[in-house]
Amino acid sequence: MSNLRNVAVVGFAQAPIVTRDLHRTSQDMLYPQVRRALDECGVSRDDIDYQVAGSSDYIDGRPFGFVMALDVMGSWPPRQDLHVEMDAAFAAYYAWLRMQAGDCDTAIVCGYGKSSEGDLDRVLNLQLDPFYFGAIGLDPVATSALQASAFMEHSKKSDHDFAAIAARNRAAGVRNPDALLREVADPEVLSESEWVTGPLRRGYMSPYGETAVCLVLAAEGKAEAMCDRPAWIHGLDQRIEMQNIGARNLATSAGAQLATQKALAMAGLTAVKDCDFVELSATNPAEEMILCQAMDIDPEEERPVINPSGGPMCGNPIMMTGLIRLGEVFRQLSGRAGDHAVAGAQRGLAHAASGHCLQQNLVFVCGSERRWT
């Protein structure tokens, strides 16, 4: 592979995830995080070439809702800007592309959205086609349950396996001050929690939440001055599968598999076990196991550590869950992970997803050293 530009995550700011912030609009929540991220990098807003955000107008509850955020992102003098109606991790992907094109060296990537202000399950139903899947009322809870059921049949995994995974994530979340759920949960208790939609129980679901995040990307030459320990992007890939849920094998994730293989190849690696940890956008235990299978991760092995932050099962702020995974990789590799630090972490993988049943997958592989010389 020909040389690409070395681009790194150099800053990340996130407010703790809450169920509902009664005192701030999404703009009010975002502004302090943009300021914090820039302060952390020791730069002013004018030092940033490009701005990009991920959010959803349907979550904001107004058409063109994303333009509201421009006022708190420092959009003066007039800036180069892009918005994606996807998890903000995909916005980071586009900022990386712009840097490869060579037309910017620094970017802020913002994610926001107050999912508590609307009815999220109804909103996410609208991702489906209006003639059939949407019309029959499928929402992410139902489609996740269909996927979990297909996976159980395929893998012979049990309710107990689900409980163990949920409990492991919850135990990790205790050490992450930004997590929404921060109490240890006994797997026995989780496996007795009420059914939401079988085979998924309340204790296995990711609780929706809201926050605001700002991540800073910089290319080699700028990154070093902005961060003592940048998290260099070694490889990344993004794959989407067809919309028709019935046409996909829900027990597997071909998209996550291919995206991981391609990202590893770009990173010059052959297996995810070469990473010290992974941060997966797994919103329930079945998704986590499907992703592990797709990425060829053996959860029994010591490495990679899976979701040291507690992952989405300890808080799922829609539109930001994926970008937070990349932010967590930065925290680990830059020595900013505090109590949930993975000892000696040199390489990490961040995974983001959008759509029902892992329809879209994005994988970043990052390392503490530059990829290309």
Among 36, 82, 118, 164, binds other proteins (CB under 8 A): 118
Q: Which is nearer to other proteins, 212 or 362 (CB)?
A: 212
Of the candidates 69, 9, 56, the residue with the CA atom closest to the CA atom of residue 326? 9
Query: Which range touches other proteins (CB under 8 A), out of 121-129, 294-302, 341-349, 363-371?
Result: 121-129
Please give the helix or strand (H or E) that residue 360 lies within, else none.
Answer: strand 360-367
Contact between 301 and 165 (Cβ < 8 Å): no
- Output the DSSP codes for 289-343: HHHHHHHT--TTSSSSEE-TT--GGG-B-TTTHHHHHHHHHHHHHTT--GGGPPT
The span of 122-130, 145-153, 226-234, 330-338 binding other proteins (CB under 8 A) equals: 122-130
The CA distance from 23 to 15, in Å, is 14
Out of 76, 184, 189, 369, the only residue in the binding site for other proteins (CB under 8 A) is 76
Piece of 11-19, 20-28, 102-110, 277-285 that binds other proteins (CB under 8 A): 20-28
What is the closest distance, in whole angstroms, from the C-beta atom of residue 33 to other proteins in the complex? 12
243 binds other proteins (CB under 8 A): no
Residues 33-72: x/- map of binding to other proteins (CB under 8 A)?
Answer: --x---------x------------x--x--------xxx
DSSP string, 190-215: HTTSPEEETTEEGGGSPPB-BEEEEE
Indicate the residue among 76 and 372 with the shorter CB distance to other proteins: 76
Element (H, E) at 81: strand 80-84
Residue 135 or 189: the one with the smaller Cβ distance to other proteins is 135
Please name the residue ranges forming H helices in the chain: 26-41, 57-60, 88-101, 120-125, 140-155, 159-173, 187-190, 223-226, 254-267, 285-295, 321-333
Is 167 one of the binding residues for other proteins (CB under 8 A)? no
Binding segment toward other proteins, per CB under 8 A, in 114-122, 138-146, 251-259, 270-278: 114-122
| Binding-residue total with other proteins (CB under 8 A) | 30
Q: CB-based burial of residue 373 (10 Å sphere; 0-12 exposed, 13-18 middle, 19+ buried)?
A: exposed
- Dist CA 369 CA 373 (whole Å): 10
Q: How far is the CB of 128 from other proteins (least distance, A)?
A: 12
Q: Which of 3, 23, 194, 246 forms a contact with other proteins (CB under 8 A)?
A: 23
Smallest gap from Cβ 134 to other proteins, in A, equals 8
Closest by CA to 18, choosing from 182, 183, 214, 180, is 180
Q: Which two structure tokens, joined as six digits, stand for 280?
A: 């997966």
Nearest-approach distance from CB 68 to other proteins, in angstroms: 11
**Chain residues that interact with other proteins, rule: CB under 8 A:** 20-25, 27-28, 31, 35, 45, 58, 61, 70-72, 74-76, 114, 117-119, 122-123, 126, 130-131, 134-135
